[in-house]
Amino acid sequence: MKPIQMKRWRNWWKMRHTDKEDNKDAFRSGPHNDQMAEGDEDLREMTRQLELMNTLVKVVEAKDPYTAGHVWRVSQYAKQMAEKLGWGTKQIAWIEAGAMLHDLGKIGVGDAILQKDGKLSEEEFAEIRKHPEIGVHLIETSTFLSAYMHGIRSHHERFDGKGYPERLHGHHIPIEARIIALADTFDALTSHRPYRKAMSADEAIAIIEQNRGTQFDPALTDIFVGIAKEAGFASIILHSAPAIPLVHCPQHGEIIERTRHAKPGDAAYCPACKKSFRLAEQDGRWMVVM
């Protein structure tokens, strides 16, 4: 791709991830035809691929509604890591996109297991542990999506070699997978679950640090912790999109997703209560009512 095309694509990617009302068409459908030069085929192809990828992400989230916004948050933590590492524009966009696809293989895991509230049996855990390889199987014949294969396959590997599916260790684990592993765990810890409240960022960082060098790459852990302490991740934690915080459920905390175009009175589903509420808004703060 030529630099000018890359810049235009990058601008569109950034625009998609902002909350400006006047960008809503771009958020929905990518660049308008009149924004593209005649014959700008690379850009058109990239746009088609990203739209396809967005659809895949929505399919994964529909399977596992408890993780509202998880994919977006993981991609944002990974992006910040890549920026701190001094990666180029293309590599940053690549890991941001790859992080969005990391759990694609959950499409192949049964709903009864993914959506189970109680403790999982050893057999059920074994089923969940298949998702990295299912994900690889889904994308390996796509020349576009196979660029994200290592992040999908290896994001549950551990630095000490005790992870899955291949028990890779240290720098044998591809860097994108080592970054996604940190982002994925931090997001799980700072998100509410039906059986426990979300941890604060400080509590989650303390756990990440305890696992430095065992679960996580020590050098990448230091960078992740450094970003968290320096700039904070407040605009990402408990959000499902830029400037869209999750809505508070009276019983389960911030867990309900509000779409960008939702209006007061619209239905909002709590994945923990497993029922719908109505959205209400007061002084810019969103809540749910019966």
Can you give the binding site for Fe ion, defined by CB under 5 A?
A: 103
CA atoms of 50 and 221, how far apart (whole Å): 29
Burial code of 84-107, b = ≥16 C-beta within 10 A, e = fewer? Answer: eeebeeeebbbbbbbbbbbbbbbb
User: Based on CB atoms, which residue is closest to Fe ion, 103 or 187?
Assistant: 103
Active site residues: 106
CB of 175 to Fe ion, least distance (A): 17
Residue 155 CB, shortest distance to Fe ion, in Å, is 6
CB-based closest residue to Fe ion: 103
Long-range contacts of 261-265 (CB under 8 A, 24+ apart): 261/24
We find the least distance from the C-beta atom of residue 102 to Fe ion, in angstroms, to be 6
C-beta closer to Fe ion: residue 149 or 249: 149
The helix/strand/coil state of 288 is strand
* Bridge partners of residue 282, in order along the sequence: 285
Six-digit token pair at 43?
A: 């850009």
| 253-256: strand order across its sheet | 253-256, 247-249, 285-289, 275-282, 267-270
Q: How far is the CB of 12 from Fe ion (least distance, A)?
A: 28
Nearer to Fe ion, 61 or 103 (CB): 103
How far apart (Å, rounded) are the C-alpha atoms in residues 225 and 67? 23
Nearest of 120, 106, 113, 32 to residue 70 by alpha carbon: 106
Question: Do residues 107 and 60 make contact, with C-beta atoms less than 8 angstroms apart?
Answer: yes
Closer by beta carbon to Fe ion, 40 or else 217:
217
Q: Pick the closer one to Fe ion by CB: 40 or 103.
A: 103
Residues 121 and 114: beta-carbon distance below 8 Å: no
Minimum CB separation from Fe ion for residue 131, in Å?
Answer: 6
Cβ within 8 Å of residue 245, ≥6 positions away:
238, 239, 254, 286
